[in-house]
Amino acid sequence: MRFVFLIPDLKKGWPWNTIKTLVDFSRSQAVRDWALRQWIAVDEVYGGTMNIMRHCWVARQCGVDAVLATMSGKDNYGDVFGLNRSLPFIRWRDRRPDDICVVPDFVTQLIKDVKGLAIAYEQSPLQTKTDFDYLDDRVTLWTDSERMKALCAQTYPGKPAEIVPNIVDEALFPFIPQAEREEGLLFAFPRKGKDFIEATQSLYQQQGGTFWRFECIDGLTLRELAQQFRRPQAFLASASFEGCALPPQEAMAAGIVVVGKTAQEANFCMQHGKTALTGDTPEAVVQCLFQLESAPLRTTLTHNAYDYIRQFFPEGQPKIFWQQKIQEFALKQQSL
């Protein structure tokens, strides 16, 4: 039994960008379908891809054969874990008929090519598609939050989706107490709600806030991000939509207090007054920021958040999940 986890190639530079632009503007569905089977690629590492790679790693730690698949069959991610954890790669076309294939939401139409068992991993509310036979007994639906489960129930009636635990790497993001961090430093990701971040910062300063200084970070490798996450006391969640929402969870593991949007409950780890302070408007977040100028409150929230998020460390729910899935899919294969 082998699990094959499909992920996009990581490609950068003008040749790939030119090809992508031509395909995106093509009106021919035949061209689009052909291109899909030639190039599934991105120019940055997304959280959903990272989560899939971590699941592959945990599955292997549980003793089952598991590989990553790209269209090229090449590992063009390098040390994406930041901890030199290497994983084997194969070409998607080289999968075997009896492989159990985990297919990400944005390319679920490729499930049509899978001969055996397939898993549609629905991680993003912006990517759920009905371009595959989800009612097929060979197909299983996975997702990552109660909100996504409800969305899947609407999109795929008659086929329940199972919530799969996200994986937070505590080795990469070790807990560092608030007192050992740079006082007043707040991190935000501009690619996830730049306008919201700017509005919050402006309003906070207009109301006389001087404790928090905002620093926007982007374009970092995971290793660089992990190093930078040793610095701030706070992380501003600013996205209106989220998939697996790893950044707030990694911040909690690291001892960073989390404040901001719940992304319509996709950031399920953000429980107001318990593990985080939440607000869906700049005005609400600014009030939270003034509260978080209190060191005792920050300490309480970060310890509560760490106690909550540790269930998603590899040795917690993910390990239990994969031990169960290995047994379940072995029985499913026998029944085919």
Which DSSP category does 172 fall into? T
Residues 139 and 184 in one domain: no
Q: Which pTM value belongs to this model?
A: 0.89
Domain assignment of residue 247, given as a range: 178-312
- The domain total for the chain is 2
Let me know if residue 172 belongs to a domain: no
Residue 104, pLDDT score = 95
Summarised one tens digit per residue, pLDDT across range 140-194 is 999 998 889 999 999 999 999 999 999 999 999 999 999 999 999 999 999 888 9
CA gap 196, 210 in Å, rounded: 19
Residues 150 and 259 in one domain: no
Residue 22, pLDDT score = 56
Which residues in the chain belong to E strands, given as ranges? 2-6, 9-10, 41-42, 65-70, 89-91, 100-104, 118-122, 139-143, 161-163, 185-188, 213-216, 234-237, 257-260, 276-278
Structure tokens at 58: 């945990």
**Residue 275's CATH number:** 3.40.50.2000
Average pLDDT over residues 308-318: 96
Residue 83, pLDDT score = 54
Residues 154 and 297 in one domain: no
Residues 66 and 85 in one domain: yes
Let me know if residue 108 belongs to a domain: yes
> Do 134 and 159 form a contact (C-beta atoms < 8 A)?
yes
- Indicate whether 277 pLDDT > 60: yes
Confidence grade of residue 26 (pLDDT, cut at 50, 70, 90): low
- Indicate whether 80 pLDDT > 70: no
Residues 138 and 240 in one domain: no
Average pLDDT, whole number, for the chain?
89
> For the chain, how many residues are written?
336
